[in-house]
Structure 1
């Protein structure tokens, strides 16, 4: 199977050594980026009562934080391309820390929107993209494994922050907890300090021209066929990706499960997800899967969809436990491969721009998916199982789309590579080949 991108890095990635320290830094940085907005929901009830606002108004804190994190992708990418990963991550960690400390002195809900939502969300954006980008600088052969280990930071930190936040809330209230969290999240600065830059000697192509914008963020990616296939599949996929996690506990309660057992489903899901991400990285690094990693990602997306379609058909609480196990595996597989396949498509040099542009496009479905599913969940016209069937279709369809389109993309790439080699043949070889063909034709006629 031909490679989808040919990129000259200008150096040989170490594939180890200090790279494992970088992976640990990315583990922390990615973990805080994804887990922090989710873990803050523990404080919502007390903050809601303190400010006398509705639950929907307080829920906007996490929504704005996530929206800003995704929308800030291009800004983060520009800064990474200009200054490198280390300073951007350190500034991002400082921004989130300061934002949480400032939020602890808040007097209105608007204060939390600005501090936690906007400033904190932008700080998380400065943590996410650089951490993903630098792995591609340090790893090539072992890159899927390194990405899988780094992406495991999300479930591990979520699993850790959930009980920690409850302890802080019980002992210090929401103001004291926010102040302490501001200090804890400063560990992202330590994570950024681990991201020692690699000196790259690769020169840009001679025919590269145009506005300084392309030097900061590569807009030519929108002409990249493989990248466009990835974007289309992901946009559809994200409409059904997060909603089943958000509504797993409410769905279980609706089926008659008590609150404790419903919460246990999330714990089971998180534990399996925690193991699935590095495990997927190890499997992806094998010689059987690595050349076919785009197909493996397509299978993972479709597998998610199949899990959601089967979920309403499983009987009782035992069926929900089985679903939580298989869904945790499927979710972890997609998360571990999500950025690895993008790097495989566009190469390490263009990855920073690719992920920045992708996150701002994916911002819409990421935010709209759960509210749309929640509306169908609460709508009496539909049975509650409708949401899981809808999410299943939203995952199964892009999985099949990615599989089919990647199959054709690989064929087209092979044909283009063959044509390119023909065009690059020296004129003498072309004449020789033509002369030999002519001689064969004359010989055939004489015979």
Structure 2
């Protein structure tokens, strides 16, 4: 017999691979290992590619300005359209993931991203380049990152911080390898040749996406029944609407991402304008990558310690990033910029690792797919604003001083909102503890006359 329930967590016992475990609240419990470690390895490569492409755009950005002889705010539309598509795709990505699964979504997204690079190299004007690069690669990158993150979150519970930190090491490796590789490819083959080679590299993500097998506690019925999947997707969105704390956290992420692209995309241009050798400035992003690897190993391990508050660690990381970004305009030597890159990279890695983990802590593993898609929407909108704001501020002031000041200010606002989430979660936990430990009222029988 098949179940007729429309609840997303109801499973059909005759079709389950493994009886799912549940915690005290009745929520599904992830297996904490097994094939999940293979998914961790797959996500390592995918996020290396995704963040490497984003951080390497700062080098492409400078080349495009010179090639098309255009302004910085006009060229910033490449990154802004990329971010806009990233956020729109994030809005639907959770639903697509619910219906097709992480494996199919990653393979399709890698092909889409590769096609975006191939079509972009034929663009003969900036407008067409912005559309092709922004829309196609933006959608592909968003879907790849969402699917690779959700599959790891679905496999882990108590070891979630460790699993995410290990898989997120790919972010540091991507920042270490792809920006200097992009610089080398541009110097050798021009930016068009660099796009062609990058398209080939991107296709490798499809191979790793094939490793993303669904965890065994998910029902085969949900995986194979299309009509049931549609109901599950709608139910998930309805359940998510009641998670007000999640939307507050997403607002904080929007604010941080609104300042996020400034140090990644505009740092190299800022250093070049200070007459520092371009080959030296190209190594700043790899320096960030090295320090990111260090922080992911250290703080990913620490975040799983009993008593460690991941939300507090997340807020502290944002605060340090804010201060360091606001100090950038005052730097005047390549050594000082390398110190900034090291400090920023350490806390950027901690911040990156914490986002997905905290989302899952707030909404539960069952709503992770849809919730992370909505979170990606907020992040993408922020990145869209960030790119245009930095270019516009440069064009009206003639320097990047206000771009970095505003970026740091947005970080601080995001930190404040995250602290509100921390306080709200603390109060909710304390109230629940009081209710659970409150003495039950004693029922006294009525005396008979």
Of the structure 1 ranges 177-186 and 387-396, higher mean CA displacement relative to structure 2 is found in: 387-396
> Which position in structure 1 is the counterpart of 2:366?
349
Residue aligning to 2:381: 364
Would you say 1:409 and 2:409 are equivalent positions? no
Q: Is 1:272 the counterpart of 2:291 in the alignment?
A: yes
Cα contact 2:87–2:379 (8 A) shared by 1: yes
Which of 264, 267, 286 aligns to 1:245? It is 264
- Residue of structure 2 equivalent to 1:443: none
Structure 1 position 108, deviation (Å) = 5.0
Question: CA offsets per residue over residues 300-319 of structure 1, 9 Å max, x none?
Answer: 12222233355567786554
Contact 1:5 1:346 in 2 (8 A): no
1:335-367 CA distance string (max 9 Å, x none) = 121211111111121111111112223322212
User: Which residue number in structure 2 is paired with residue 144 of structure 1?
Assistant: 161
Equivalents in 1 of 2:118, 2:271: separation in Å?
A: 36
Q: Which has the larger radius of gyration?
A: 1
2:408 equivalent to 1:392: yes
CA-CA distance at 1:92 after TM superposition: 0.8
Partner SS state of residue 17, structure 1: coil
Unaligned runs of 5+ in 1: 440-447
Give the whole-Å Cα distance in 2 for the aligned partners of 1:254 and 1:41: 14
Looking at structure 1, the residues matched to 97 and 288 of structure 2 have their Cα atoms a distance apart, in angstroms, of 34
Shift of the 180–7 alpha-carbon distance from structure 1 to 2, 3 Å rule, reads farther
Does the CA-based 8 Å contact 2:176-2:285 persist in structure 1? no
SS of the counterpart of 2:241? helix
CA contact (8 A) 1:74 1:357 kept: yes
Aligned-pair CA distance for 1:137? 1.6
Structure 1 residues 13-71: Cα deviation after superposition (integer angstroms, max 9, x where no partner): 1x333322211211222222232244355455666677676665454333322321222
RMSD: 3.6
Distance verdict in 2 for CA 1:197–1:220, change over 3 Å: closer
Question: Which residue of 2 is the match for residue 284 of structure 1?
Answer: 303
What's the secondary structure of 2:157's corresponding residue? coil
Moved more, 386-395 or 311-320: 311-320
Q: Is the 8 A contact 1:37 1:66 kept in 2?
A: no
Q: Is the 8 A contact 2:296 2:350 kept in 1?
A: yes
TM-score, normalised to structure 2's length? 0.80
Partner of 2:117: 100
Residue 72 of structure 1 pairs with residue 81 of structure 2: no
For 1:373 and 1:107, the matched residues in 2 are separated by 25
52-61 vs 276-285, greater mean Cα deviation: 52-61
- Name the CA distance, whole Å, in 2 between partners of 1:356 and 1:5: 27
C-alpha contact (below 8 Å) 1:299/1:403 kept by paired residues? no
Call closer, same or farther: CA 1:130–1:216 in 2, change over 3 Å. Answer: farther
CA shift digits 1:146-199 (9 cap, x unpaired): 111222323312322223333333444444443332222111111111111123
The 8 Å contact of residues 82 and 216 in structure 1, kept in 2 or not, is answered as no
Task: Name which of structure 1's ranges 212-221 and 153-162 shifts more when overlaid on structure 2.
Answer: 212-221
Per the alignment, residue 171 of structure 2 pairs with 154
TM-score for the superposition, normalised by structure 1: 0.80
Deviation at 1:5, TM superposition (A): 10
Match of 1:300 among 317, 324, 330: 317
Find the counterpart in structure 2 of residue 442 from structure 1.
none
CA distance in 2 between partners of 1:36 and 1:266 (Å): 11
The 1:244/1:113 distance shift into structure 2, 3 A limit, reads: closer
Q: Any unmatched runs of 5+ in structure 2?
A: 1-22, 223-227
Instruction: Name the CA shift for 1:68/1:372 in 2 (closer, same or farther; >3 Å).
Output: same
* Mapped pair 1:180 → 2:197: yes
Shift in alpha-carbon separation, 1:245–1:168, aligned structure 2, 3 A: closer
Secondary structure of residue in 2 paired with 1:72: helix
Give runs of aligned pairs for residues 191-230 of structure 1, distance below 5 A. Answer: 191-201=208-218, 212=231, 214-215=233-234, 218-230=237-249
CA distance in 1, matches of 2:194, 2:340: 34
Question: What residue in structure 2 maps to residue 166 of structure 1?
Answer: 183
Determine which of 304, 314, 332 is the counterpart of 2:349.
332
Match of 1:435 among 439, 444, 448: 444
The aligned length equals: 418
**SS in structure 1 opposite 2:444?**
helix
CA distance in structure 1 between the partners assigned to 2:337 and 2:245 by the alignment? 37
